[in-house]
Amino acid sequence: MKIDPIELAVFKSTVHSVAEEMGAALRRTAFSPNIKERRDYSCAVFNDEGDAIAMGDHMPVHLGSMPMSVRQAIDHVELGPGDVAILNDPYAGGTHLPDITMVLPVFADPIARPTFYVAARAHHADVGGQYPGSMGPCREIYQEGIRIPSIRLVKSGAIVRDVLDLLLYNVRTAEEREGDLLSQIGACRVGEARLHEVIARYSGKLPDLSRELLDYSERLVRAELAKMPAGAFAATDFLDDDGLTETPVPIRVSIRIDPHARQAKIDFTGSAPQVNSSINAVYAITYSAVYYVFRCLLPGEAPATSGIMRPLEVIAPRGSIVNAVPPAAVAGGNVETSQRIVDVVMRALAEAVPERIPSASSGTMNNLTIGGLDDRTKAQFAYYETIAGGMGARPTGDGLSGVHTHMTNSLNTPAEALEYAYPLRVRRYSYRPCSGGIGKHRGGDGLVREIELLSDAQVTLLADRRRLSPYGLSGGGPGATGLTVLVRPDGQHVLPGKCSINAHKGDLIRIETPGGGGWGSTR
Partner 1 sequence: MQIAIDSGGTFTDCIYKEGGALKVLKVFSTPGNPGTAVMSAIRTISNGGKATVRHGTTVGTNALLERKGARVAFVTTAGFEDIISIGRQARANLYDWFAESEPCIVPPDLRFGITERTAADGTILQRAEEDELRDLAEKIRAAGAESIALCLLFSFANPGNEIAAANVLRELGLPLSLSHVILPEFREYERASTVTVNAYLSPKVGGYLQRLDDEMQPLSMQGAFEVMQSSGGIIPARFAAEQPVRTVLSGPAGGVVGAYRLALQSGFSRIISFDMGGTSTDVALIDGAQEGPRTIGDALVSQLPISVPMLDIHTIGAGGGSLARFDAAGIMHVGPESAGAAPGPICYGHGTQPTVTDANLILGRLHPDHFLGGTVKLDVSRTRSYMEKALGPLATPEELSGGIALLAEAAMERAIRVISVERGHDPREFTLVAFGGAGPLHACALAKALRMPRVLIPAHPGALSALGILLADTVRDYSKTVMLKSNVDLEPQFKELEKLVNAGTADSAIPSTVLRSLDLRYAGQGYELNVPAGTDFLETFHRTHQKRYGYADERKAVEIVSLRLRVTTPGEAVHLDAFAPGDGDASQALLGAHSMIFDGKVETGKVYQRELLEPEDRLIGPALVVEYSATTVLPPGWTGFVDDYKNLLLEVSQ
State yes or no: residue 8 binds partner 1 (CB under 8 A).
yes
Residue closer to partner 1 (CB basis): 7 or 140: 7
Minimum CB distance to partner 1, residue 149 (Å): 25
Residue closer to partner 1 (CB basis): 430 or 521: 430
Q: How far apart are CA 514 and CA 323, in angstroms?
A: 27
Which window, 6-14, 162-170, 280-288, 319-327, contacts partner 1 (CB under 8 A)?
6-14
Category of 91 on φ-ψ map: left (φ > 0), alpha (ψ -120 to 50) or beta: alpha
Contact with partner 1 (CB under 8 A): which of 266, 314, 349, 387? 387
Residue closer to partner 1 (CB basis): 312 or 324: 312
Question: C-alpha angle 126/129/135, rounded to 5°?
Answer: 60
Minimum CB distance to partner 1, residue 133 (Å): 16
Residue among 466, 445, 446, 441 at smallest CA distance from 518: 441
Which window, 103-111, 131-139, 275-283, 412-420, contacts partner 1 (CB under 8 A)?
412-420
> If binding means CB under 8 A, how many residues of this protein chain bind partner 1?
82
Residues of this chain, 449-478, that bind partner 1 according to CB under 8 A: 450
Minimum CB distance to partner 1, residue 414 (Å): 5
Residues of this chain, 205-224, that bind partner 1 according to CB under 8 A: 216-217, 219-220, 223-224
Contacts of 498 (CB under 8 A, 6+ apart): 137, 241, 242, 243, 277, 279, 332, 461, 462, 463, 464
Which window, 94-102, 246-254, 406-414, 458-466, contacts partner 1 (CB under 8 A)?
406-414
Contacts of 263 (CB under 8 A, 6+ apart): 222, 225, 311, 312, 313
Handedness of CA 163, 27, 72, 137 (dihedral sign): negative
Residues of this chain, 186-205, that bind partner 1 according to CB under 8 A: 186-187, 189-190, 193-194
State yes or no: residue 397 binds partner 1 (CB under 8 A).
yes
Contact with partner 1 (CB under 8 A): which of 61, 74, 185, 198? 185
**Phi, psi (5° rounding) for residue 99?**
-80, 105
Contact with partner 1 (CB under 8 A): which of 419, 458, 496, 499? 419
Contacts of 427 (CB under 8 A, 6+ apart): 450, 451, 452, 508
State yes or no: residue 429 binds partner 1 (CB under 8 A).
yes
Residue among 219, 476, 230, 464 at smallest CA distance from 341: 464
